[in-house]
Amino acid sequence: MNLKRFFPAFALLAAFAVFTASGCRSTEGGNASVADAASAPTIKYDFGSGPAPAGWTKVTPDLAYNDARGFGFEGPAGTTVTAFTGGSGAVTGDGVKSDKPFFFTFKVPSEGNWRVTVTLGEPSAPSLTTINAEIRRLMVLHAATRAGETKTVSFLVNTRTAKIPDGTTVRLKPRETQGEAIAWDDKIQLEFNDTHPAISSLTVARADDVPTVYLIGDSTMTDQPGMPTTSWGQFLPIFFKNTVAIANHGESGEAYSAFRGERRLPKLLSVIKPGDWVISQFGHNDEKERERGPEYGACKNYATEMRNYTKEIRAKGAHLILVTPMARHEFTADGKVKNTHDDYPDAVRAVAKELDVPLIDLTAMSTTMMNVLGDKGSWKLFSRGQDATHHDPYGAWELAKCIAQGIRDTKAEPAQWLSADFKGFDPAKPDPIASFTVPESPRRGGGGGPAGAQRNGKAPTDDPSKPYGQ
């Protein structure tokens, strides 16, 4: 597999050796083959340099990913993953660690929801681990262990392919076959981040019996491929219990009509099941369609598409939450946020009321937050401090909190699925940027205008050796 399609700025860690499947077999217990792992109810990976127990696949720190093996580490360049020993237990007695983020990728037999369970910690030192899945979907934040302590964390990862059961496929954009390709393949990639990530084991099991919250929309909520641009959809999983899967089907440049025309809606309808929920936030690109003729506009094709989507999703036994588009960074002469969406937010509100669909008024919430921060102060919400539409990680975090609070306010079923750690959010009282502690991902890429914006008093950079904000 070519890592450059995932990390344009990185190459595979040169020190990683490429082994054959037979070369990574355990010396004890009969290490499971890739085929065995793929067909087993649970896939089990035992990290470190010691022998693997029966039924576990050994992962030594020098195993680079290749398709033949179906699992292994993937960069980034300059990262060294080392083994540790000295613990107790056949599986937790050894593991791997690093002082920098690293990636582990493995194949799964089919698309859908997968429960991933990871054992963290090392015998001789404290560990601190944050875990992202696929394209920077935040799953675990700051999981800490003391020296000699282990901690097990569990989360759900949704995977998908472009195939649709009727024989057609989603019409992917070039970026989705390159930097975003990992969102559409038969693998799960995990990013182990923070100051000292340390892992001893990982298991993967099919999870068909959990509810799924699907996200559909445009670039302001999609899985953005690289720092600094980040969306609220990438942070939303951390605000839910680990009994709910979050599946982000959003994509840059999408409007309701394009989402259908590119067969993204048929793909969605082919996988949702009764009891699932869909959170829909369109508008930024739909607004451009007004130039196409009188049949286009907020109260015409935009509202019609919302009605049709609602009908088609409900026909599957699933439910919908409508979200108004967040405000852009544009202020009036008197220092207030300007409504650049015209009557599109009103159209969402009207359709939600007409069809009795729960509504999250992100236009209003983001406007309140930006008015509090002011013209200059609210730039810190936006990518590189210059992109008036897309967001910095801090801004995405604040918007994800708005969405979580909006879900709670709807009193719809997903409100019961929010994490107990989410204490609520008032957009009139945004968090200070100093309180934002999500580690930067080494996954860098597109984003939001030229370099030079300030973040915590420091200018960002596209140099991969210099993390954003450092």
What is the model's pLDDT at position 309? 98
What is the model's pLDDT at position 137? 97
* Residue 293: pLDDT band with limits 50, 70, 90: confident
Count CB neighbours of 347 within 10 A: 23
What is the model's pLDDT at position 19? 26
Strands 245-248 and 187-196 turn out to be: unpaired
pLDDT at 1 over 70: no
pLDDT at 394 over 80: yes
Q: What's the pLDDT tens digit per position in 95-142?
A: 999 999 999 999 999 999 999 999 999 999 999 999 999 999 999 999
What is the model's pLDDT at position 76? 85
What is the model's pLDDT at position 33? 39
* Residue 467: pLDDT band with limits 50, 70, 90: very low
Q: What's the pLDDT tens digit per position in 304-333?
A: 999 999 999 999 999 999 999 999 999 999
Q: Which residues pair with 82 in a beta bridge?
A: 97
> What is the pLDDT averaged over residues 181-210?
96
What is the model's pLDDT at position 464? 28
Least confident of 216-225, 383-392, 441-450: 441-450
* Residue 89: pLDDT band with limits 50, 70, 90: confident
* Residue 403: pLDDT band with limits 50, 70, 90: very high
d(CA 174, CA 12): 22
Q: The whole model's pTM is what? A: 0.86
What is the model's pLDDT at position 291? 77
* Residue 294: pLDDT band with limits 50, 70, 90: confident
> What is the pLDDT averaged over residues 67-93?
90
What is the model's pLDDT at position 182? 92
pLDDT at 15 over 60: no
Q: What's the pLDDT tens digit per position in 269-287?
A: 999 999 999 999 999 999 8
> What is the pLDDT averaged over residues 136-163?
97
What is the model's pLDDT at position 179? 85
What is the model's pLDDT at position 450? 23
Residue scoring higher pLDDT (465 or 290): 290
Helix/strand/coil (H/E/C) assignment for every residue in the chain: CCHHHCCCCCCCCCCCECCCCHHHCCCCCCCCCHHHHHHCCEEEEEECCCCCCCCCEEECCCEECECCCCEEECCCCCCCCEEECCCCCCCCCCEEECCCCEEEEEECCCCEEEEEEEEECCCCCCEEEEEEECCCEEEEEEEEECCCCCEEEEEEEEECCCECCCCCECCCCHHHHCCCHHHCCCEEEEEEEEEECEEEEEEEEECCCCCEEEEEECCCCCCCCCECCECHHHHHHHHECCCCEEEECCCCCCCHHHHHHCCHHHHHHHHCCCCCEEEEECCCCHHHHHHHCCCCCHHHHHHHHHHHHHHHHHHCCCEEEEECCCCCCCECCCCCECCCCCCHHHHHHHHHHHHCCCEECHHHHHHHHHHHHHHHHHHHHEHHHCCCCCECHHHHHHHHHHHHHHHHHHCCHHHHHECCCCCCCCCCCCCCHHHCCCCCCCCECCCCCCCCCCECCECCCCCCCCCCCC
Task: Identify the structural domains of the chain with CATH numbers, from first to last.
Answer: 3-206 (2.60.120.430), 212-431 (3.40.50.1110)
* Residue 381: pLDDT band with limits 50, 70, 90: very high
pLDDT at 459 over 90: no
Overall size of the chain counted in residues:
470
pLDDT at 206 over 70: yes
Distance in angstroms between the alpha carbons of the first and the last residue of the chain? 31
Q: What's the pLDDT tens digit per position in 329-368?
A: 999 999 999 999 999 999 999 999 999 999 999 999 999 9
Half-sphere exposure of 117 (CA within 13 A, CB side): 12
What is the model's pLDDT at position 448? 32
What is the model's pLDDT at position 245? 98
